[in-house]
Amino acid sequence: MSSVLIYGSYGFVGSLVAREAIDRGLEVVLAGRDPEAVREQVEDLERPGRRFALEESDVVREALAGADVDCVLNCAGPFSNTAEPLVEACVETGTEYVDITGEIPVIEGIADRDEAAREAGVTLVPAAAFSAVPMDCLAAHLAERLPDPDSLALGVDSLRPPSIGTVRTVIEGAEDGGAVYRNGRLEHVPAAWRTRRIDFGRGYREGVTMPTGDVATAHYTTGISNVAVYVAIPQPARSLLKLHRYVAPIVAAKPVSETLKAVAGLVREGPSSWSRERGSAYVWGEARDEYSGERVVSRLRTPDPYVLTVDAAVTAVERVLETDLEPGFRTPAGAFGPEFVLDLEGVAGFFDEGTPDTESPRIDVAG
């Protein structure tokens, strides 16, 4: 039977993923850099474990080869620190790779390893998580509805407290501000660059542009040259985000970001199972052809982002192990098709708005 090594298996998401993978009958190897945490989890879940850090490439390579695994599922973030060594070791040892990153630079870095992965015959699937599976699949669906659109706007409305790991990842990426794809190139823009009123599926709300991993995956999946992602955020937070333009250099400064991360670590682990069970998210997407004026809108409703992340990550690993996928860098929708998101539990959609039309003009509010 094929086996999966879950790196960062004792983190908040990693431990949920490990339990889910075991429940689904996958052969799981638990892994991470902290010997005590791995040992405790091995005892608790009664599965084999491997302790290794990612600083030395030969150690990582030997750990994968020694564990005799078919796929790595990387749940250790910020992924800017963990994806590269694991991807390189996967390429060198012929091991499939899946992760749950939502970081644009990480996805771009993995895209750059496409050729090496093809030559090695391995598939690299980053962002098999809330960011980016729903929006990536929605983007692919919209591109099927309106061939060759020149712009894609995507958005999500989900109010929920993040896990501490997510907070740390956001702090780590603070100095980067915002990002969109414009004219086929990834462009850095200020934080909360554009504001837009969007009907995500439960009435209009204001969304601001955010540099989520969906920006990159939607571009790679569809080839659309202009992609922006909006996140619905209440007014006080929108103002704070705009302020971020001025405070980002301070937040990103080493002593400050280290202190924030340390404080974040003291606060709380992640959303409780109670709030995960009740959470939900509304996902919206619009493709436009600026020349013809044609526009299509589709929506999705999903369970709580953490619930979806666990389901998406484990399902992606199952598909990678069971399906004969084309090797190379693949986005979730690129690898498994637009319908992938509909196979996840509790997802409803696609809700399509009309046929291509020229109504409903875009409403941009000054950023």
Ligand X SMILES: NC(=O)c1ccc[n+]([C@@H]2O[C@H](COP(=O)([O-])OP(=O)(O)OC[C@H]3O[C@@H](n4cnc5c(N)ncnc54)[C@H](OP(=O)(O)O)[C@@H]3O)[C@@H](O)[C@H]2O)c1
178 binds ligand X (CB under 6 A): no
C-alpha distance from residue 62 to each of 67, 73, 84, 110 (Å): 8, 17, 16, 21
Query: By CB under 6 A, which span of 100-108, 152-160, 176-184, 287-295 interacts with ligand X?
Result: 100-108
Q: Look up residue 279 and give its amino acid.
A: G
Name the residue among 312, 287, 315 with its Cα closest to residue 302.
312
Pairing of strands 280-288, 328-329: unpaired
- Interacting residue with ligand X among 5, 31, 38, 54 (CB under 6 A): 54
By CB under 6 A, residue 279 contacts ligand X: no
Instruction: Report how far apart, in Å, the C-alpha atoms of 365 and of each of 174, 191, 208, 240 are.
Output: 24, 15, 10, 17
Nearer CB in complex with ligand X: 93/169: 169
Task: Say whether residue 109 binds ligand X (CB under 6 A).
Answer: no
Q: Which is nearer to ligand X, 163 or 226 (CB)?
A: 163
**Least distance to ligand X, CB of residue 150, Å:** 27
Q: Is 34 in the site for ligand X (CB under 6 A)?
A: yes
Tell me if residue 299 falls in helix, strand or coil. Answer: strand
Residue (77 or 328) nearer to ligand X, CB: 77
270 binds ligand X (CB under 6 A): yes
| Options 21, 28, 42, 76; binder of ligand X; rule CB under 6 A | 76
Binding string, residues 281-320; x marks residues near ligand X by CB under 6 A: ----------------------------x-----------
Task: With beta carbons less than 8 A apart as the criterion, state whether 123 and 335 touch.
Answer: yes
Count residues near ligand X (CB under 6 A).
Answer: 32
Task: Determine which helix (DSSP H) or strand (DSSP E) holds 65, and give its type and residue range.
Answer: helix 57-67
CA 105/CA 99 separation, integer angstroms: 14
Q: Give the 3-state secondary structure of residue 255.
A: helix
Which range binds ligand X by CB under 6 A, 11-19, 64-72, 194-202, 234-242?
11-19
